Structure 1
Amino acid sequence: MPEGHSVHRIARQFDRNIVGQRVGASSPQGRFSEGAAIIDGRTATRVRAVGKQMFLEFDDDLWLRVHLGMYGAWDFAGEILVDPTIASANGRMGQTNQRGTDLDPVFDAAGENSLSSIGAPRRARVHVRMSEQTTGLADEAGTWPPPVVGQVRLRLLTEVTCADLRGPTACELQTPDEVQATIAKLGPDPLVDGVAEGEERFVAVVRRTPTPIGLLLMDQNVVSGIGNVYRAELLFRARLDPHTPGRDVPEETVRQLWRDWVRLLAIGVETGQMMTMDDLDPEAYRRAMASRDDRHWVYHRAGLPCRVCGTAIVLEEMGARKLYWCPSCQR
């Protein structure tokens, strides 16, 4: 499932390439034909990302809500104007305590990198997939508009840019009041809410509930944007047992979780990759950026030795999702 950093990156891509443009809309798959017909010919005026959901506004106070869910992704083709606020894959902020180390770009073999993580603002005729597992640059487009491939729920088309949506959990039109109601149900997002205000909301909810912290971090009503990878990594970095009831987690530890999420989310947005390890030397950092197997403390490491204590990492199911943790470090 795409996590919060991916959705914020997608919103930035929309802001630079779709917002301000008159948009043609269609539903090649047919499942959003009525909604596409309403959007068709309107001008996109604003985009918002909150947690794992994106909201694209059109004129006349019409909003498109998209939740990618487990399998959704946006594919961009045409002339893509890169967001200059997002660093290249050498990840200046994404180096996470690399103390100024300057590295050449490294591209993730698993495809988690995206076009906007390449860096400089420029136009390039490319095709790029935007989701948690981004496929990166592909062949130059041979025709315009590009042919429809697969089950495209919604195609948004400007004169030079095409955005295709596949496999979302939610794709619907909303009024401004409905958008506000949807957002009001979500927990704080560090890139939307004030960081200090978000911290207080998060701490208040966690500290009053008996629900295990491993479930609370995945609850989008408690905190927005955290998915399976960030959950496992945040809990390990805090050395926190996932089964600890929220109300039993010391307040300072809850605050530490929030502040670490603020930091890791910013790194993810800038680099396009969920880098969760710190103090890597340049070569280790290069390996981590190129392969997610070298990027995380516990995630996807079931049965392998803990990087800190050597204990075998445990895999269990929590909240219908796989949870990785170290039973020694996280006691």
Structure 2
Amino acid sequence: MPEGHTLHRLAGAIDTAFAGTTPEVSSPQGRFVDGAALLDGTGLERAWAHGKLLFVDFAEARTLYVHLGLIGKWFVLPVAPEHAELGPPVVGEVRLRVADERHVADLRGPMACQVVDQEEVARLVARQGPDPLQPDDGTAADTAYARISRSGKTLAELLMDQTVVAGVGNIYRCEVLWRHRLHPLRPGRSLRRTSWQLVWDDLVRLMPWGVRTGTIITLDDVLEDTATAWERGERPEVPREFGVYQRTGMPCLRCGSTVRTKVVAGRNLFWCGGCQRRT
């Protein structure tokens, strides 16, 4: 399942392609015909995300709600000149197509695809925890910690719980716990408030780079090199390197101890057996 930065990046692509236009909306697959009819010929105002939930606001207070789930994909692509009049041919099972003469966005395999009103949007967002990629009024870390500090579940479970923190997936949970030397199997109620603040601030720092580059960055040297290149106006290819994620049996980059793994919350968890001790 895509992590939150992917949804924010996708929302930005939809915004760039269609905000302020009146695109055609259709359901080539036929499973979203009624919903597409409500949006077709209606002005698209903006796209935005909260955690792993994607919303596209249209005129007349109508919002398209999409949850990609495990297999959903939504690609936003420019239309080739030869397809400008009729649009590119449909490939595969396309649940939803948003298109104009310049861009086409095809949605395949989502877990949820619905037209909802503003009351339902508010309800969906209220069920989520705070999103490190959303503007913060200063209460987001406290809101998340209130849920963590009352729980006997492990930190690894809590970070994957979207009602605790929205948008964090398996890679970010493994890496941010490693970065702060926290054992992933310790209970949430044992976590100090100051330790949680460090984790939250790190997510706020790291996740926007995932939006910018399309790649999760968790190593400081990679982040520094990438930031320097961006300051120069360059857009380098970011190496897919991590501290512990998918490094089972390999030495920890910090202390040299063996990286361990265990299935937690349905996903393979990775941590260092040396510098992430329970105590």
Tell whether the structures are fold-level matches, with TM greater than 0.5: yes
CA distance in 2, matches of 1:244, 1:14: 40
Q: Which amino acid is 1:311 matched to?
A: S
Q: Specify which structure has the bigger relative contact order, considering alpha-carbon pairs within 8 angstroms and separated by 6 or more residues.
A: 1
Aligned position for 1:146 = 88
Partner of 2:74: 74
Residue identity over aligned pairs, in percent, reads: 42
The Cα offsets for residues 310-330 of structure 1, whole Å up to 9 and x where unpaired, read as: 222112100111111112111
What is the deviation of 1:279? 2.7
User: Shift of residue 214 of structure 1?
Assistant: 0.5
Letter in 1 for 2:45: T
Match of 1:217 in 2: 159
* CA distance in 1 between partners of 2:48 and 2:132 (Å): 13
2:232 counterpart residue number: none
The question of whether the paired residues in 1 share the 8 Å contact of 2:213 and 2:238 is answered with no
Q: For 1:271 and 1:78, locate their aligned partners in 2 and report how far apart those are by CA, in whole Å.
A: 19
- Cα distance 1:20–1:282, how it changes in 2: closer, same or farther (>3 A)? closer
Residues 265-322 of structure 1 show CA distances to partners (whole Å, capped at 9, x for unaligned) of 1211122110100135859x99x94441xx2101111122211222221121001111
Q: Is the 8 A contact 2:56 2:64 kept in 1?
A: yes
Mapping for residues 58-97 of structure 1, pairs under 5 Å: 58-78=58-78
- The answer on whether the counterparts of 1:6 and 1:269 sit within 8 Å (CA) in structure 2 is yes
Q: Aligned-pair distance for 1:142?
A: 4.7
CA distance in 1, matches of 2:135, 2:12: 17
Structure 1 residues 306-315 or 173-182, which shifts more?
Answer: 306-315
CA distance in 2, matches of 1:26, 1:78: 17
After TM superposition, the score normalised by the length of structure 2 is 0.90
Distance 1:199 1:282, change over 3 A: closer
Runs of 5+ unmatched residues, structure 2: 230-235
Per the alignment, in what secondary structure is the counterpart of residue 173 of structure 2? helix
Instruction: Give distance in 1, aligned partners of 2:111 and 2:273.
Output: 34
The reply to whether residue 227 of structure 1 matches residue 173 of structure 2 is no
Q: Distance in 2 between matches of 1:252 and 1:243?
A: 19
Aligned partner of 2:113 in structure 1 is 171
Q: How many residues align?
A: 267
Q: Cα gap change, 1:195/1:215 in structure 2, threshold over 3 Å: closer, same or farther?
A: farther
Distance in 2 of aligned mates of 1:141 and 1:233: 43
Contact 1:206 1:254 in 2 (8 A): no
Change (3 A) 1:258 1:141: farther
Distance, in Å, in 1 between the alignment partners of 2:220 and 2:137 is 22
Q: 2:129: which partner in 1? A: 187
Quote the RMSD (CA, aligned, Å). Answer: 2.0
Higher helix share: 2
1:125-140 equivalence runs, <5 A: none
CA distance in 2, matches of 1:200, 1:317: 28
CA–CA separation in structure 2 for the residues paired with 1:301 and 1:195: 37
Cα distance in 1 between the residues matched to 2:65 and 2:167: 16
How many angstroms does 1:229 deviate by? 0.6
Question: 2: CA distance between counterparts of 1:269 and 1:69?
Answer: 19
Q: How much does 1:153 deviate?
A: 1.1
Alpha-carbon distance in structure 2 between the residues aligned to 1:192 and 1:237? 22
Long gaps (5+) in structure 1:
80-139
194-203 vs 226-235, which deviates more? Answer: 194-203
Whether 1:326 aligns to 2:266 is: no
- Deviation string for 1:101-156 (max 9, x for gaps)? xxxxxxxxxxxxxxxxxxxxxxxxxxxxxxxxxxxxxxx66533111111111000
Aligned to 2:11: 11
Query: Of the candidates 237, 243, 256, which is equivalent to residue 297 of structure 1?
Result: 243
Q: Which segment is superposed worse, 216-225 or 68-77?
A: 68-77
Q: Tell me, in whole angstroms, the C-alpha distance in 2 between the residues paired with 1:259 and 1:246.
A: 17
C-alpha distance in structure 2 between counterparts of 1:282 and 1:55, whole Å: 33
Q: Deviations over 1:40-86 (max 9, x none)?
A: 1111112221011111111111110011112222112226xxxxxxx
Structure 2 partner of 1:257: 199
Distance 2:139 2:81 in 1: 45
Q: Are 1:273 and 1:289, in contact at CA under 8 Å, matched by a contact in 2?
A: no
1:276 aligns with 2:218: yes
Amino acid at match of 1:26: S
Question: How far, CA to CA, are the matches of 2:83 and 2:69 in structure 1?
Answer: 30
CA–CA separation in structure 1 for the residues paired with 2:50 and 2:145: 19
Quote the offset at 1:4 in angstroms.
Answer: 1.0
Q: 2:208 aligns with which of 257, 266, 281?
A: 266
| 1:190 to partner: Cα distance | 2.5
Cα distance per residue 1:4-35 (max 9 Å; x no partner): 11111111112221111112111112221221
CA–CA separation in structure 1 for the residues paired with 2:262 and 2:30: 39
